Amino acid sequence: MENGSPVLCPNTVTVRRNPHRRARATPAAKTAESNPPSAISSFPLQEILAMEVPQNPKDNSSSSVQTPLSENLKVYLRVRPLQLKNLKKSGNPGDQNSRLGHVWPQNPQKKKVAKEKIVKKKSTEACITINDDHSVTVCPPMALQETRRSKSEVYEGFSHVFSTESSQGEVYERMVSPLVEDFLKGKSGMLTALGPSGSGKTHTIFGSPRVPGMVPLALQHIFRTESNDSRSSRSYYLSIFEIYSEKGKGEKMYDLSADGGELTMQQFTIKGLKEVLISNAREAESLVACAMAKRATAITNANSTSSRSQCIINVRRVANPDEVNDASNCAILTIADLAGAEKEKRTGNQLTKYLRDYLEGKKRMTLILTVKAGEEDYLDTTFLLRQASPYMKIKFNNVVEPSNTNKRQLPTLCTFEEQKRTKYSVPEPCVNEGKGHHEEGVLSHEEPSGHTERPATKSSHTELAGTERNHLIMQNFAKAIWQVLKQYRDKLKSAENENQTLQEEIRKEKMRYFELEKQWQSSRCSTCSKEDCAKADSSIVTSFELKSDLDEYRFNDVHEINLNSFIKVKESEGYESPERRGFSPCEDINSCSKLVEVKEARKNKVDETTPRNECDTAKKLMYVEADDRCLTTNPIAFGTLQSHNLVKHDSCSSVELDKLSEQDEESTSVESPLQVASFIHCNAHACETQPVLDSSLNQSTSEESDRDSGALNEDQELMAERLDSRHIPPTKDVESCQEHNIDVHCSDPSTDTSCKREKPKRRLLPASSTLLRDFSNMHVEDDIEGSKVCPDLDACSLESEILIFPTDEILTLVDGKIARYKTFWVPLSFNLNLS
């Protein structure tokens, strides 16, 4: 519907089944109009690339990250003497002792075996040179310089570098004593020794009875302090365990205390580890000595009693319960002697877990790197220093030519470069690549490092600046992508909401459309009825609706018709009869024909505008509206109207009808399937006797066609014979039929468009006459209420059973006059035996 308003007159309404409508903008297009793409900002690629990066990122990165690390992490380097025997022979007192004889505590069983081992003859040349207290230069052996073209390297940034002459006491005072002091104040700390096998880790950590290491010195320090403080009543517990990696069995943990066993780690804590209360240093040293005796050791090329496990000692300080808010309540001092960190060594995962807080910088950690100074230890030394490079400044005076890099060294370099990348956020080591120096030749390790730093530093700064800029660009790139994605996500949400709103509007519009169409149809139907009434000047209207599948039944095959219909009977008052108008029966028939034409024309018009499906689904009803004074003629009129198309409807419907045979169908005006609403105008006063009606029908049919009239005459003759055989006199009331306005049309506006296939004509009349005669034989049971409301029915002598039930009255405007109809429901049940 274009305007959506109800249509009052179908003649003035133009119905367009597929009205041309202006295409509505799609939601997407609408969205695009309301929200232009410019709402989403374009990707700021140029801005990102054009941004300025600080030219000296070194200062920023080192100052921001290194500060906390410098507080919690300190890296020391200790260089083991070249020739231990020589040192021993030199009579240097104290800590410069032979490994075999003076490491404390000793494993007695392995001590004997170690003595039998052949001590390799080692080079007297050193590969490492201590530049100052914070830096060293590592120079490759001559053989490596020639074959691999390796260059010397300068490592700086150590908290302190202990020379080969440094004593245990010196190391302790400078490195461990501050840690212990903090521990006594309640701060946890850790000391870890890391280095290749035989570099002096165990010597540094445990020492020997004559040259005690950091553990005994720390224990002595602790209890000495405690003994000096008379008010102190703290308790100390000691635990010691090792993490041992067996081939094919993974890592295992063992408690190294007297009756300790295997341990397990859950999350980041060790389950089952025993703590031994210690009250003095001697007692603690004894426990440590026993644990060391249990520690797994093995003979390596570098060390006859090499520690093959990570040994960890914990000293826990428990404050007096009386001390309130003592922060030192849970302070722990951890000292770890790690296994050899040579290149082939694989460090354990469990140790990493256990030391997680320390490695992440959350707790104070002191790392001492032990290296050997011999030329044969060059690779292990450089490997260790490069591993520790993220935590300090390392300068490369020379680079290794890629072409000469053998398989052994390449992974090391790759690992190192990878570490540099992964450790980008940690204090960035100052990497200097002096390619220019490479062309000039190999730098001597004796050459002062200060002379070669400046050009290398410049290039290093330039490279770092570029790296930092790339890093920041990538960061901003990711941020920009994130922002754009967020904007698109918001737009998508809004579009979805709008889509839902539009769908809701569409649904409402559909509902409104259906309501308007319904109103239009109802209004059109009412308009049609008024028009028909005015034109037809009729008081009796009968409407039939036949089911669409009437073709399945043939009239000739049906011998019994159960007509359980409701016949609406109108009692018209004030109706101007055709007789008074001077209508003759013939004229009456003609007028009926005219009415048929008019209503057929309107039916066709309705059919043009009515969807087919509505016709199929429409209910099939039959109404017989008749003047009470010619009620007996209603069945006649009904039969006249129906012609041969009375077909069985359904079990609960009003009429059971049958369809015409093929030859009869040609002579009928109503085609099935269709819905038929018949308007039968029958003036009660004009109703004539059956012969008169028959004659009028014959007259009417003679005007149509010879063929039709022939068929009609045959039917009429047959019916007349049947009537004669029954000797049923015509009813008195049916004296004449001056006017028979019979119309067949689709009363339902939703009649199928198939109804217009063939325009119904007056050819109905001859066929109807057959039923007319049958109905005339029916007897109306006048003992029903019908006789009360229709006294004229008393004279009815139809043999069939017609039950008449009064219902209500209807006032209708007919030709400017008010006509009152009394309606009756007349369920019909009669048999037609046409055979």
Ligand X SMILES: Nc1ncnc2c1ncn2[C@@H]1O[C@H](COP(=O)(O)OP(=O)(O)OP(=O)(O)O)[C@@H](O)[C@H]1O
In the complex, least distance from residue 88 CB atom to ligand X, rounded to whole angstroms: 8
390 is in an annotated binding site: no
197 is in an annotated binding site: yes
Give the residues across from 374 on adjacent strands: 126
Q: Which of 10, 61, 80, 285 binds ligand X (CB under 6 A)?
A: 80
Toward ligand X, which CB reaches closer, 198 or 374? Answer: 198
CB-based contacts of 820: which residues, under 8 Å, 6+ apart?
Answer: 571, 572, 573, 574, 809, 810, 811, 812
Kind of pairing between the strands at 235-246 and 364-372: unpaired
**Binding status of residue 95 toward ligand X by CB under 6 A:** yes
**Binding status of residue 760 toward ligand X by CB under 6 A:** no
199 is in an annotated binding site: yes
Rounded-to-integer distance, Cα 581 and Cα 377, Å: 141
Question: Mutual orientation of helices 27-34 and 449-536 as an angle, nearest 10°?
Answer: 120
Helix (H, G, I), strand (E, B) or coil at 572: coil
**Across the chain, which distance is largest between two alpha carbons, in Å?**
163
Sign (positive/negative) of CA torsion 758, 761, 767, 768? positive
CB-based contacts of 52: which residues, under 8 Å, 6+ apart?
Answer: none
In the complex, least distance from residue 299 CB atom to ligand X, rounded to whole angstroms: 9
Toward ligand X, which CB reaches closer, 99 or 685? Answer: 99
Give the number of residues in contact with ligand X, rule: CB under 6 A.
26
Rounded-to-integer distance, Cα 277 and Cα 280, Å: 9
Rounded-to-integer distance, Cα 356 and Cα 632, Å: 111
Toward ligand X, which CB reaches closer, 103 or 540? Answer: 103
Range 512-571, binding ligand X (CB under 6 A): none
Distances in Å between the alpha carbon of 608 and those of 99, 438, 701? Answer: 117, 101, 29
CA R_g for the chain: 59
**Binding status of residue 340 toward ligand X by CB under 6 A:** yes
Quick one: DSSP state of residue 98? Answer: -
Quick check: 316 and 239 in contact, CB under 8 A?
A: yes
User: What do you get for the CA distance between the two ends of the chain, in Å?
Assistant: 52
Closest by CA position to 294, among listed 271, 262, 334:
262
Toward ligand X, which CB reaches closer, 195 or 212? Answer: 195
User: What does the DSSP assignment read for 358-393?
Assistant: HHTTSSEEEEEEEEE-BGGGHHHHHHHHHHTGGGSE
**Binding status of residue 197 toward ligand X by CB under 6 A:** yes
In the complex, least distance from residue 76 CB atom to ligand X, rounded to whole angstroms: 13
In the complex, least distance from residue 367 CB atom to ligand X, rounded to whole angstroms: 14
Closest by CA position to 389, among listed 201, 222, 154, 581:
154
Rounded-to-integer distance, Cα 800 and Cα 833, Å: 12
Distances in Å between the alpha carbon of 205 and those of 346, 541, 591? Answer: 21, 122, 132
The piece of 10-18, 89-97, 445-453, 675-683 that touches ligand X (CB under 6 A) is 89-97
**Binding status of residue 96 toward ligand X by CB under 6 A:** yes
Quick check: 234 and 307 in contact, CB under 8 A?
A: no
196 is in an annotated binding site: yes
The piece of 3-11, 76-84, 237-245, 493-501 that touches ligand X (CB under 6 A) is 76-84
Toward ligand X, which CB reaches closer, 351 or 660? Answer: 351
639 is in an annotated binding site: no
272 is in an annotated binding site: no
Toward ligand X, which CB reaches closer, 208 or 460? Answer: 208
In the complex, least distance from residue 84 CB atom to ligand X, rounded to whole angstroms: 5
Give the residues across from 318 on adjacent strands: 235
Range 645-684, binding ligand X (CB under 6 A): none
Range 345-384, binding ligand X (CB under 6 A): 370
Toward ligand X, which CB reaches closer, 75 or 339? Answer: 339
Toward ligand X, which CB reaches closer, 300 or 419? Answer: 300
In the complex, least distance from residue 341 CB atom to ligand X, rounded to whole angstroms: 8
In the complex, least distance from residue 308 CB atom to ligand X, rounded to whole angstroms: 8
Backbone angles phi and psi of 527, in degrees to 5: -65, -40
279 is in an annotated binding site: no
Rounded-to-integer distance, Cα 526 and Cα 532, Å: 10
Toward ligand X, which CB reaches closer, 210 or 732? Answer: 210
**Binding status of residue 746 toward ligand X by CB under 6 A:** no
Helices (H), 541-656: 578-581, 585-608, 612-617, 633-642
Q: Which of 74, 151, 160, 201 binds ligand X (CB under 6 A)?
A: 201
**Binding status of residue 160 toward ligand X by CB under 6 A:** no
Rounded-to-integer distance, Cα 739 and Cα 579, Å: 8
Residue with tokens 């049309």: 745
In the complex, least distance from residue 309 CB atom to ligand X, rounded to whole angstroms: 9
Range 203-222, binding ligand X (CB under 6 A): 203
Rounded-to-integer distance, Cα 484 and Cα 488, Å: 6
Toward ligand X, which CB reaches closer, 97 or 543? Answer: 97
Which string of x and - marks every residue 785-824 that binds ligand X (by CB under 6 A)? ----------------------------------------
Give the residues across from 241 on adjacent strands: 255, 312
In the complex, least distance from residue 432 CB atom to ligand X, rounded to whole angstroms: 30
Toward ligand X, which CB reaches closer, 103 or 819? Answer: 103
Range 99-118, binding ligand X (CB under 6 A): 99-100, 102-103
Which string of x and - marks every residue 306-335 that binds ligand X (by CB under 6 A)? xx----------------------------
Toward ligand X, which CB reaches closer, 348 or 427? Answer: 348
Rounded-to-integer distance, Cα 288 and Cα 418, Å: 39
415 is in an annotated binding site: no
Toward ligand X, which CB reaches closer, 31 or 167? Answer: 167
Q: Which of 98, 107, 225, 699 binds ligand X (CB under 6 A)?
A: 98
- What residue is closest to ligand X based on CB? 99
Which string of x and - marks every residue 279-308 that binds ligand X (by CB under 6 A)? ---------------------x--x--xx-
In the complex, least distance from residue 258 CB atom to ligand X, rounded to whole angstroms: 23
Kind of pairing between the strands at 740-745 and 677-682: antiparallel
Quick check: 197 and 383 in contact, CB under 8 A?
A: no
Give me the residues that bind ligand X (CB under 6 A), please.
80-81, 84, 95-100, 102-103, 195, 197-203, 300, 303, 306-307, 339-340, 370
From the annotation, which residues make up the binding site for ATP?
Answer: 195-202
From the annotation, which residues make up the binding site?
Answer: 195-202
